[in-house]
Amino acid sequence: MDTELARTFLAVAAAGNFVGAAERLHVTQSTVSVRIQTLEAQMGARLFRRGRGGAELTSAGQRFLRHAKALLRTLEQARHEVRLPSGFSASLTLSGRIALWEGFLPQWADWMRASQPDISLRLESGFEEDIMLGLSQGSVDIGVMYTPEHRPALAVERLFDESLVLVSSDPSRHWPDPGYIHVDWGTEFHIQFAARFPELDTSARTANIGWLGMQLILAHGGSGYFPERMARRFINQGRLWRLEESPLITLSAYMVFPLDRDDPALLKGVARLRELGAEEQVRRGAS
């Protein structure tokens, strides 16, 4: 398949219409239309439902969505590995939840760059579903996340336990707070939150990533649950306050990596993450 067809498909899916996709891709609307028609002919199915409101994915289009993402990700990974600059002997791709890039995973990236300068690093953020898909397809070497799936060919190791604390832009705000932003920290978070606040409606404002929820609260006020590690800086600056009487929610951070690979770059990366996870757990115990 021409990868431009997959790129065009993803652009239409993201924009919700052909005009927006054409602007993103810097091509004409007719080019987008021809590419989608060609793709649908190759797939033997209608991928979009056209209407006055734009272009909506059909059930076939929804099923093709993850394959299109995987196709382009695999291509990018292949380019990364094939085009290794001179001086590099191997490459490693790590994908992690964006909250884990706050104060934890950068330590790993810095150590790898300093102690393993011959390893080229590709660093990504993502959600569990996409990270697990990349691990299964080989486009991701190490995944770091909160709620991994257990699969036969992948090792799952707990790195450390993460405390999520309820913070507010105003210490005098009452709880339940109408300005609460419910961040999607994964299935385990939802289970624990529902057990602690069974009567609370969380549908008013939701965010799919912690960074977005944090920016909304800092800019416009409100409250939300965030990893203590992520909120600490703003608490120390006096921009957020922890609601001390609110219950903690604990999530475990895991690393996932393939069992059937023993190349040195992967083993070094895994070993360092294991060490950093142990150090983080000790810090949590001491705090």
Residues with Cβ within 8 Å of 219's Cβ and at least 6 positions away in sequence, in order, are none
Spatial distance between the Cα atoms of 203 and 224, rounded to a whole number of angstroms: 13
Bond into 176 cis (ω within 30) = yes
The DSSP line for 82-106 is HTPPTT--EEEEEEE-GGGGTTTHH
Could you tell me the pTM of the whole model?
0.70
Q: Exposed, middle or buried by CB within 10 Å (0-12, 13-18, 19+), for 103?
A: middle
Distances (CA, A) of 194 to 173, 201, 203, 247: 21, 10, 13, 12
Residues with Cβ within 8 Å of 268's Cβ and at least 6 positions away in sequence, in order, are 112, 116, 119
Could you tell me the two tokens for 250? Answer: 């604990």
Rounded mean pLDDT of 9-15? 88
pLDDT in tens, 19-71: 988 988 889 999 999 999 999 999 999 999 988 778 999 999 999 988 888 88
Whole-number pLDDT of residue 167: 96
CA–centroid distance for 143 within its chain: 10
pLDDT in tens, 180-217: 999 999 889 999 999 999 988 888 899 999 999 999 99
For the chain, the structural domain boundaries read 3-71, 87-287
pLDDT in tens, 124-181: 999 998 898 888 777 789 999 999 988 888 999 999 999 999 999 998 888 889 999 9
Residues with Cβ within 8 Å of 34's Cβ and at least 6 positions away in sequence, in order, are none
CATH ID of 3-71, from 3.10.129.10, 1.10.10.10, 3.40.50.12160, 1.10.3720.10: 1.10.10.10
pLDDT in tens, 218-249: 999 999 999 998 999 999 999 999 998 889 99
CATH T-level assignment (fold) for domain 87-287:
D-Maltodextrin-Binding Protein; domain 2 (3.40.190)
Whole-number pLDDT of residue 215: 95
Nearest C-alpha neighbor of 186 from the set 126, 146, 135: 146
Secondary structure tally for the chain: helices H, strands E: 10, 11
Whole-number pLDDT of residue 80: 62
Residue 79: pLDDT over 80: no
